[in-house]
């Protein structure tokens, strides 16, 4: 019988796998060590002739269970779980970049990713080449002679859309390794391997877990690419996810499809509402027909995601008054959970960015980023309307 490819809803919610003693969900192997039955077994492991487990930094069944599910959702060959999104990003860079390499990155990245590149890659002699990824001629020129390429779409925090298939084609033309941070979209809304991208990264802290109760990251490799260096970096640097976090992530994933559908619907409704509000200067959301990324988003995404950003008329003080008067939407830094959160990037992800970097990222001192949760949309609309009255 031909192998049946399961659809996303079944991969997330289903229980295809077989775990020890018939467990339907993966047991938590909260153990650092795995026992050898005898010295001959230890010797076979040392010779590379046995895949018997040794030590959780090298691998653990609870972690493998969640890696397999995410690899399947992305349509990839293999996934590697990390203790944070930042640990995944840095392991990927450590695995693929060497002193003297040029690394072409989008000029609109999550502030923490950009800070990591500035603070930790530059001192190792990697040249970071920041390019406007909507300008394909500029990307084409920059990729000539480069080692690797990294971007996110939609971008954090003001949801710029980058044409994934076009950038993947340019990377292939120049033989440059490509990676996409797919945190904002999730594999439910877009699948970068279908565009021809080599690696996908996630901060699973966000939508994939979806309950705001763990920090984690994931790297996923496309089929046909070597994963040896990433495996080696993770093993040697020790950034692997904890088994309990892996269990929670596996549990969160089971509702991913229904959560993302609701995030998409709530965010679109809220963005449409804010877009016509007289206290709002600008609404950023790729699902809006007047958004510059709308046409590309329609081609490459199945839904437009759960993040809406707004510029509030009246500057920093007005934006602060808006946030301080919200009662349902919580003032907190992260995103992607069931509950709606709001933050000002100028006080969180972009605190350390220079004025030029903020301008490049389309972040003003009166931008508010809303991670639209899965509450009742009428309560969210009422909440923003009440808070905007205080502006």
Ligand X SMILES: Cc1ncc(COP(=O)(O)O)c(C=O)c1O
Cis peptide preceding 154, ω within 30 of 0? yes
The only residue of 26, 61, 112, 212 in contact with ligand X, by rule CB under 6 A: 112
What are residue 55's phi and psi, to 5 degrees?
A: -160, 135
Q: Residue 378 contacts by C-beta under 8 Å, 6 or more apart in sequence?
A: none
Give me Rg for the CA atoms of the chain.
Answer: 21
Q: What are the catalytic residues?
A: 57, 110, 181, 206
Q: Does 306 bind ligand X (CB under 6 A)?
A: no
Smallest distance from ligand X to CB 313, Å: 26
Closest to ligand X by CB, 83 vs 95, is 83
Closest to ligand X by CB, 56 vs 343, is 343
Span near ligand X by CB under 6 A; candidates 50-58, 107-115, 267-275, 312-320: 107-115
CA neighbor of 230 nearest in space, from 340, 350, 90: 90
Question: Angle at CA 34, nearest 5°, toward 31 and 39?
Answer: 160
- Shortest-Cβ-distance residue relative to ligand X: 85
Q: Does 8 bind ligand X (CB under 6 A)?
A: no
Pairing of strands 217-221, 199-203: antiparallel
Q: Does 156 bind ligand X (CB under 6 A)?
A: yes
Torsion sign (Cα): 245, 236, 59, 231: positive
Q: Does 181 bind ligand X (CB under 6 A)?
A: yes
What torsion, rounded to 10 degrees, do the Cα atoms 81, 83, 304, 129 define?
A: -100
Closest to ligand X by CB, 183 vs 227, is 183
The only residue of 62, 106, 113, 364 in contact with ligand X, by rule CB under 6 A: 113
Q: Does 287 bind ligand X (CB under 6 A)?
A: no
Q: Are 99 and 124 in contact (CB under 8 A)?
A: yes
Q: Does 152 bind ligand X (CB under 6 A)?
A: yes
Which residues are bridge partners to 341 per DSSP?
330, 371
Closest to ligand X by CB, 85 vs 243, is 85
Q: Does 86 bind ligand X (CB under 6 A)?
A: yes
Smallest distance from ligand X to CB 301, Å: 15
Q: Does 190 bind ligand X (CB under 6 A)?
A: no
The only residue of 92, 94, 110, 199 in contact with ligand X, by rule CB under 6 A: 110
The only residue of 66, 71, 79, 84 in contact with ligand X, by rule CB under 6 A: 84
The only residue of 107, 183, 186, 343 in contact with ligand X, by rule CB under 6 A: 183
Closest to ligand X by CB, 84 vs 319, is 84
Smallest distance from ligand X to CB 380, Å: 21
Smallest distance from ligand X to CB 83, Å: 8
The only residue of 85, 154, 303, 305 in contact with ligand X, by rule CB under 6 A: 85
Closest to ligand X by CB, 110 vs 247, is 110
Closest to ligand X by CB, 82 vs 275, is 82
Contact positions with ligand X (CB under 6 A) in 193-232:
203, 205, 215, 217
Smallest distance from ligand X to CB 215, Å: 5
Q: Does 90 bind ligand X (CB under 6 A)?
A: no
Closest to ligand X by CB, 56 vs 113, is 113
Q: How many CB atoms lie within 10 A of CB 1?
A: 3
Q: Are 243 and 214 in contact (CB under 8 A)?
A: no
Span near ligand X by CB under 6 A; candidates 12-20, 63-71, 179-187, 365-373: 179-187
Residues that bind ligand X (CB under 6 A): 84-86, 110, 112-113, 152, 156, 181, 183-184, 203, 205, 215, 217
């Amino acid at each position: 019988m031909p192998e049946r490819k399961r659809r996303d809803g079944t991969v997330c919610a289903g229980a295809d796998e077989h775990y020890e003693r018939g467990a339907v969900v993966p047991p938590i192997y909260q153990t650092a060590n795995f026992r050898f039955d005898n010295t001959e077994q230890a010797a076979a492991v040392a010779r590379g002739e046995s895949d018997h487990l040794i030590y959780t930094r090298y691998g653990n069944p609870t972690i493998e269970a969640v890696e397999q599910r995410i690899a399947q959702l992305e349509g990839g060959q293999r996934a590697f779980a990390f203790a944070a999104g930042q640990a995944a990003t840095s392991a990927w860079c450590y695995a693929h970049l060497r002193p003297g390499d040029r690394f072409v990155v989008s000029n609109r990245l999550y502030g923490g990713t950009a800070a990591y590149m500035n603070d930790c890659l530059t001192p190792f002699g990697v040249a970071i080449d920041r390019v406007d990824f909507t300008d394909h001629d500029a990307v084409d020129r920059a990729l000539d002679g480069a080692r690797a390429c990294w971007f996110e779409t939609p971008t954090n925090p003001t949801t710029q859309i980058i044409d994934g298939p076009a950038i993947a084609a340019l990377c292939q033309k120049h033989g440059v390794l490509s990676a996409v941070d797919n945190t904002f979209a999730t594999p439910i809304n877009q699948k970068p391997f279908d565009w021809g991208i080599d690696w996908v990264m996630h901060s699973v802290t966000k939508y994939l877990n979806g309950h705001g109760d763990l920090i984690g990251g994931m790297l996923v490799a496309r089929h046909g690419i070597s994963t040896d260096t990433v495996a080696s970096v993770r093993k040697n640097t020790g950034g692997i996810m904890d088994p309990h976090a892996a269990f929670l992530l596996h549990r969160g994933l089971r509702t991913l499809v229904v959560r993302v559908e609701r995030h998409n619907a709530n965010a679109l409704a809220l963005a449409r509402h804010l877009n016509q509000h007289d206290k709002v200067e600008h609404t950023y959301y790729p699902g809006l027909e007047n958004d510059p990324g709308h046409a590309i988003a329609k081609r490459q995404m199945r839904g437009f995601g759960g993040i809406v950003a707004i510029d509030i008329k009246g500057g920093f003080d007005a934006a602060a008054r808006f946030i301080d008067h919200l009662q349902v939407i919580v003032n907190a830094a992260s995103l992607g959970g069931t509950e709606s959160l709001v933050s000002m990037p100028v006080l969180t992800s972009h605190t350390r960015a220079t004025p030029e970097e903020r301008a490049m990222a389309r972040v003003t001192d009166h931008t508010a980023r809303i991670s639209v949760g899965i509450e009742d949309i009428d309560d969210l609309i009422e909440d923003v309307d009440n808070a905007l009255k205080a502006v």
